[in-house]
A and B are shown apart, each in its own frame.
Chain A
Amino acid sequence: MEKTIKTDVLIIGAGAVGCAIARELSRYRLRVLVVDKNEDVGGDASKSNSAIIHTGYDAKPGTLESELVVAANPMYDKIAKELDVPFARIGGILPAFNEEQFSQLGALREKAFLNRVYDVDYLTASELLKIEPNLNPKVMGGLYIPRESIIDPFLLVVGYAENACQNGASFLLGTRVTAIHTRDGQVTGASTTGGEIEAKYIVNAAGLYCDEVAAMVGKADYCVNPRKGQFFILDRNTSCKVNHIVLPIPTKITKGKLMCPTIHGNMLVGPTAEDLEDKLDHSTTAEGLDSVARDVANLIPGVRLSDTITQYCGLRPNKVPEGVCVDVYDNLRNYVNISGVRSTGLTASASLGRHVVRKLMEIGLKAERNENYDPVRKGIRLLRDMDAAEKAAAAAKDPRYGRVICRCETVSEAEIIQAIHSPIPARSVDAVKRRLRAGMGRCQGGFCAPRIIGILSRELGVPESAIQKNQPGSYMVVGKSIDGEAK
């Protein structure tokens, strides 16, 4: 029989929200445990989205979502610095290309005011074309939203998680919660595929699956359907680029398809918005990709989708009825249920973490400050960020910094080894990719994946056939070849 794990707070879900809550709780002297069914932090929606830190200018005024997103945006300068996460305030623009769109600009700016986003400005067509020369020249004018920003979404979640970890929080990954136990109007713990957990408080931060977790305690008065978004990522060598987050004027149905730089200099184009029922449907479709190609050409006519290096699909949780909720219950006194977090969730994680901790305290969580809390998480020092002198020094100190494994993104063996042995270890090919970008460049792992399989196998002390792309079952090779067996 496995030993029961005892914790003060159990967080279900290691996406951006769950990891941000863990970090906030690690500021106190508490036992904090995060459980996730996935093998790595980063959840589902948190790792496949548009990587934008929103201002909340277009949120529904007066909602919790508006409050959280508007509050979160200014927090990212400090968070990005503390957690060593690439982040840039590049600004967003909303160009209008016809009379109907042009006539909506006033209402959009008024909505921004209602959301307490006061720094949205009108720009003329010539001002827009000056700052964004590849914009469709039919532009009539538009809005400028200066604090719309871009971030590395993988490293934000890894940053939250590793900082929580270094301040005492624990993570149990690859572990699915199968039941939540209650007694006398309180939760007492959970059964998982990794054993029993006793918890004084439980937080449901399961994102796309928050309805299924809520159902375990009879609190699922809503359901969550996935809304699929398909994206293109273009080579950073593409000739037609944009400098800002270029957003279409939203319609009643969708916010539409945007084009923006990623924090690493690629171009991102998308997403679609397709309502689904299958939470496992991570497939791109010819129709979806074609619709992205068609729509973005209205914004940026010169966009070169032939420079695509990959396409991906993200599922954003679409709650019915909609609305971000952080619920506590009179008849389930030590349980917090988060629901309705959607495409703005990556942004909202910063403020939602604090909001949830406050809720926990309101329902009785006693927490003393952790005097040793250190908000700084040092990321892996990246070869590509070093100047010549630092490269020379790094390779002299650790020769593996001199061995470039991923040529497209200039990632060395030393960085890969550090990622494999980091506080939240990278144990799969994709986990290495998300932390370092090895395999995320223009050859998409054609050259480095075979070598990374070898490094993972060596560092983890397992055969190559045990190395997964991502989740269990996503094996990279089936075993030795006949020739290999003979040797």
Chain B
Amino acid sequence: MNEHNLICDVAVVGAGPAGLAAAAAAKKQGAGRVLVIERDALPGGILLQCIHPGFGLTYFKEELTGPEYAHRFVKAAKEAGVEFLTDATVLEIGDKHLRVLGPSCGLLDIQAGAIVLAMGCRERTRGNIRTPGTRPAGVYTAGAGQRLVNRQNLMIGKKIVILGSGDIGMIMARRLTLQGAKVEAVVELLPYLAGLTRNRVQCLDDFNIPLLLSHTVAEIRGHQRVEAVKIVQVDDKRQPVPGTERVIECDTLLLSVGLIPENELTRAAGIAIDKVTSGPSVNQYMQTSLPSVFACGNVVHVNDLVDNVSRESEQAGRSAALFAAGKLPETKEIACAPGTGIRYVVPQRIALDGTDADLTLYFRVTAPGGASELTAAQSGKVLTSRKVRRVSPGEMEHLNLKNSVLTEGNLTVSIAAEEGK
């Protein structure tokens, strides 16, 4: 092992909402030195470019903008005594070790009692979804466009088509309209909305921006800059319907086609990754397969609401502080697996600590549906269930249960449509 330049109890990678909440919670749990490492010049993460309101409705019971929401956590973390190392990049992590590089700190080898991974996610690209056509300027992911417009005060285009009805895409549709651009359409491959319904109402309907479900961009045109896109309707197998092609002239194509947890550091450290979420497999303490490493927020699975990220990350921070102090129980674990109609469940593992602590299982369904019952069962025995009026893959669901009711054997989460409804 290398000589360490710096020693801390808990090191947090990333000062977005997950890292901020984890750091403050670790400190409050009694961790001595808590250090957050952030590559941007300021803490706050992607929230800094999310200048629209809609954050904090469940956590603070009031509506905040992204920077306001971030600021509350930065303030809380600083008041709790969390230290920040900004403008610095974590190059590698391992068991109780991080290597960091920054213009002011140089190369630092840091020893940490526990590490919390909170790197967030990246956006799916044109290449990921295999959109054919030319490769001109003017094809942006929604987040890159959002950074240019909201943090760098630059306008990315004048006539815009947005592919994907994810939340950032819809929010950017409104933002670009308010900045004087014409958003020609939001095009969605699926027959249903990918993001939250409230964003469709507030960002598209209120601005008369057409939403074209079951459509996709079949071709990008333009030699130097985007000149047009060809859109086409798709059938229920997502195949183009001949004869439905339409060309929309535009100078910009914005892609809001999904997020991928950013786990390059995690992979390089040999930590187990869930193939469905693309994030590390965790237990209810948000502990990864490498016991000294915890993870929270979008690096684990893509969340809809920052409020959920904050809560989940506080759990990770508390657990990391306990681990660093040698107080996190080591007990037998069971698997928590998706059953009928469920895409994934987080946590993927549950440590049977025998306490009556509340466990929250977060999961997404595979397809939209009406009135349904969500259940978590072990060996055929239903341990908890909840009825919902409708479900959508775009909206995360959850179930609560007590750890003490669990026995050995897989815990399975399923959904069943309610009969007669």
Contacts and interface: CB of A to CB of B under 8 A. Distances in A.
Interface string B80-100: 000000011101000000010
B218 interface: yes
Interface stretch (A2-10, A254-262, A365-373, A389-397): A389-397
B125 A312 contact: no
Contacts of B126: 310, 444
A487 B130 contact: no
Interface stretch (B101-109, B331-339, B361-369, B409-417): B101-109
Given A388-B2, A407-B39, A289 B130 contact: yes
B180 interface: yes
B122 A443 contact: yes
Contact of B155 (A284, A404, A472, A479): A479
Contacts of A401: 103
Contact of B130 (A311, A442, A445, A483): A311
Contact of A403 (B102, B125, B157): B102
A404 B154 contact: no
Contact of A310 (B2, B89, B127, B264): B127
Contacts of A483: 153, 179
Contacts of B134: 282-283
Contacts of A399: 103-104, 106
Contacts of B89: 403-404, 407
Nearest to A389: B107
Interface stretch (A68-76, A124-132, A210-218, A449-457): A449-457
Name, among A309, A313, A446, the residue most crowded by chain B CB atoms within 10 Å (CB to CB). Answer: A446
Contact of A311 (B106, B127, B219): B127
Contacts of A482: 155, 178-180
B53 interface: no
Interface stretch (B22-30, B67-75, B136-144): B136-144
Contact of A400 (B103, B132, B153): B103
A395 B107 contact: yes
Interface stretch (A113-121, A176-184, A463-471): A463-471
B224 interface: yes
Contacts of B264: 237, 407-408
Contact of A484 (B105, B153, B221): B153
Interface string B127-162: 110101111110011011001110111111110000
B179 A450 contact: no
A221 to B, nearest CB: 30
A285 interface: yes
B103 A474 contact: no
Contact of A402 (B102, B130, B132): B102
A477 interface: yes
Contacts of A408: 264
B136 A474 contact: yes
B103 A395 contact: yes
A152 to B, nearest CB: 19
Contacts of A395: 101-103, 106-107
A329 interface: no
A468 B130 contact: no
Secondary structure at chain B's binding surface: helix, strand, loop or mixed? Answer: mixed
A118 to B, nearest CB: 41
A477 B154 contact: yes
A192 interface: no
Secondary structure at chain A's binding surface: helix, strand, loop or mixed? Answer: mixed
Contact of B122 (A288, A388, A447, A450): A447
14 contacts: A283-B220, A284-B133, A288-B132, A396-B106, A402-B101, A403-B102, A404-B39, A446-B125, A471-B224, A473-B223, A473-B224, A474-B136, A474-B224, A479-B154
Interface size class of B (residues with CB under 8 A): 35 or more
A309 B132 contact: no
Given A403-B87, A443-B123, A445-B144, A469 B102 contact: no
Contact of A309 (B125, B136, B153): B125
A237 B266 CA distance: 12
Contacts of B398: none
Interface in A115-174: none
Interface residues of A, number: 62
Contacts of B91: 391, 404, 410
B256 to A, nearest CB: 12
B267 interface: yes
Contacts of A400: 103
A309 B137 contact: no
A309 B128 CA distance: 6
B225 A475 contact: yes
B152 A464 contact: yes
A401 B89 CA distance: 11
A103 interface: no
Given A396-B106, A402-B105, A468-B137, A450 B155 contact: no
A225 interface: no
Given A286-B218, A388-B99, A477-B156, A442 B106 contact: no
When A and B form their complex, which 4 residue pairs have the shortest distance between CB atoms, in order from nearest? A484-B153, A473-B224, A399-B103, A469-B137
Given A308-B127, A403-B87, A470 B157 contact: no
B144 A449 contact: yes
A23 B79 CA distance: 62
A309 B152 CA distance: 26
Contacts of B219: 283, 285
A264 interface: no
Given A285-B132, A395-B106, A410-B91, A446 B144 contact: yes
A477 B148 contact: yes
B178 to A, nearest CB: 8
Contacts of B157: 477-478
